Structure 1
Amino acid sequence: MAPRHDIAHLGHVQLLTPDVEGSVEFCTDFLGLRVVGSDGDVVYLHAWDDYQHHTLSLRAHRHAGIGRTHLRAASPEALTARVAALEAAERGIGWADGEPGFGPTYLFTDPDGHEFGLYYEAEWFECAEDIRPALKNQAAAYPGNGVPVRRLDHVNFLGRVPVDNRDFLVDTLGAMTTEQIVLDDGTIAGAWTTFTNKSYDLVYTRDNLGLAGRLHHIAFAADSRADILRACDVALDQGVFIETGPHKHAIQQTFFLYVYEPGGNRIELCNPGARLILAPDWQRVDWTEAERAKGQAWGLRTIESFHTHGTPTAAELAREADR
């Protein structure tokens, strides 16, 4: 098992989209992110309280999905140690130049084929005068449009075998498993892991179609439940599709709203972004099949598309295979 806290936090995410213009409009008008740059077919966006250069990059692609998930190491020494562990596990791809604002990035994959980047060097967000906050401990002024979301919170991947991905994060990167779903036959159907004192950063839930490398959703933290309730009205006004919610999860107790962005990726708005896990000897919470059958915390049934929709879709993966 790797030492805890070599990974400082979930850094930033690259999403793939077949509709860059629509996805950017969604991110700015609905989520309240700000465009901070572009490079060819990639657009970089910043959440108002993210200390780093950008929070999200959108890359034009034939289909939706997640391009790469970036993690920041806690120190140069931690980066070196984790790269060694990844190479020993034979999951490494190699070093690459980081995205704008980020230094050398070591690329690797999880057992399901999702691509990750691990880095340490990071450029802090340079705030322009017109968005300079009154509170100097805040990255940028609170936007006057959209939700707006404060920061990236977590990523939920679909995986063929969630337990393999869970163990990979624990053994090579030092993650802690905080909660999981255990079916009657002992199968792990979902695992919630953290690198920090947040209750979860990366999640793997079983891909019921048996496909690999797909995304369930990425999540952004809103300041309050009131922000999420307001987001429902904003979504209505802007024609954003609401898949399910607002409601409260039983697992991790997150107050949630799920929507689709124009490229087809599922986006969650959540509050609190995550509970705090302060106990160094946290006792993992296992949820049974019967407990999950009860639905969400207040009784809302889990919507069927939650078990079937992922990006890329099965049809898109089939077309990619034909290529």
Structure 2
Amino acid sequence: MAPGHEIAHLAHLQLFTPKLDESVEFFTDFLGLRVVDSDGPDVYLRTWDDYEHHTITLSARKRAGIGRTHLRAASPEALRRRVAALEAAGCGVGWVDGEPGYGPTYVCTDPDGHEFGIYYESDWFTAGDDTRPALKNQAEAYPGVGVGVRRLDHVNFLGRSVEENRDFLVDMLGGQVTEQIVLDDGTVPGSWTTFTNKSYDVVYTRDALGLSGRLHHIAFATDTRADILRACDIALEQGVFIETGPHKHAIQQTFFLYVYEPGGNRIELCNAGARLILAPDWQRVDWTAAERAKGQAWGMKTIESFHTHGTPTVDELALED
């Protein structure tokens, strides 16, 4: 039986960038995050309504890409159960000290090599005088800078085998698959999984280049579609590259905009909060190849770079360490 509801939510993640200063500027001036701490090559930033210490760690590296993705366990007991299951399955790496504001973290990897950190202990964020919100049920004041994204929404990994990674989330971490693409030969090139009542938290899509461990994108949630439309104008003024959108996905019905941050990582702005998975007997939605060939919800065809661009890029992988 799958270990349901052992993971509370997608929490914080680490993003590698070869252009740390420029990436920090993008996350603060364009997205509206705030720097809360730094430690050598690592800069910690938070969205304004995150209850925890930070949301994103930007780490200076030669190559762009995803570092460790952190999940908060639902309880200390749930953490112990997940660690035992991961160790028994041979997926575990071991315990490490948590990042600033977070307790002991158990590191594991999915079949494709993406690294996860699972923890429970967490210091809740306390706003200072300069960031104290007018409403006490809000983590800190609305920044009024850039897009002003509210929270981290989801992460989309690229991988060799979507099925193996999907099953890892379900069997080891208790995820629920809400939608997926099933080709005519029965293989699955894309799968959307949730740990919460959101329609999805983690996505796996097949790496068109046959590589392992890469990132397709991370996504931040906005309050409204209007925020995403305004983001287009802000991107234009700030010279941020828009890859595609604004538009609406057919799968999950997410209203979206995709941009690249200076380090090369793809960032999505999304508004998907209207779709929640409330049914305890949710019936997974499978999309066929013919249905996906129709394009996005309103007919726009998916652009080629959406299938080919991932980080690290092929050129970055060719760099010597």
Q: Normalising by structure 1, what TM-score? A: 0.98
Paired-residue identity, %: 79
Tell me which residue corresponds to 1:197. 197
Gaps in structure 2 of 5+ consecutive residues = none
Alignment of 1:247-262 (within 5 A): 247-262=247-262
Tell me which residue corresponds to 1:279. 279
CA offset at residue 318 of structure 1?
3.1
Tell me which residue corresponds to 1:298. 298
- Is 1:40 equivalent to 2:40 in the alignment? yes
CA offset at residue 28 of structure 1?
0.2
SS at match of 1:21: helix
Distance, in Å, in 1 between the alignment partners of 2:258 and 2:280 is 32
CA offset at residue 274 of structure 1?
6.5
SS at match of 1:130: coil
Contact 1:70 1:116 in 2 (8 A): yes
Distance, in Å, in 1 between the alignment partners of 2:86 and 2:220 is 28
Contact 1:199 1:274 in 2 (8 A): no
SS at match of 1:231: helix
CA offset at residue 167 of structure 1?
0.4
CA offset at residue 272 of structure 1?
2.2
Tell me which residue corresponds to 1:54. 54
SS at match of 1:129: coil
Distance, in Å, in 1 between the alignment partners of 2:58 and 2:288 is 37
SS at match of 1:156: strand
Distance, in Å, in 1 between the alignment partners of 2:207 and 2:105 is 28
CA offset at residue 30 of structure 1?
0.3
Tell me which residue corresponds to 2:142. 142
Tell me which residue corresponds to 2:85. 85
| Count of aligned positions | 321
Alignment of 1:35-184 (within 5 A): 35-184=35-184
Distance, in Å, in 2 between the alignment partners of 1:228 and 1:272 is 12
Give the residue type in structure 2 aligned to 1:208: A
SS at match of 1:131: coil
Give the residue type in structure 2 aligned to 1:136: K
Q: 1:256 to 1:166 in 2, by over 3 A?
A: same
CA offset at residue 319 of structure 1?
2.9
CA offset at residue 273 of structure 1?
4.3
Distance, in Å, in 2 between the alignment partners of 1:230 and 1:125 is 28
Gaps in structure 1 of 5+ consecutive residues = none
Tell me which residue corresponds to 1:219. 219
Aligned-CA RMSD value: 0.8
Between 32-41 and 311-320, report the one with greater CA deviation: 311-320
Show CA shifts across 1:173-227 (max 9, x none). Answer: 1000000001111110100000111110000000010000000000000000000
Distance, in Å, in 2 between the alignment partners of 1:302 and 1:198 is 24
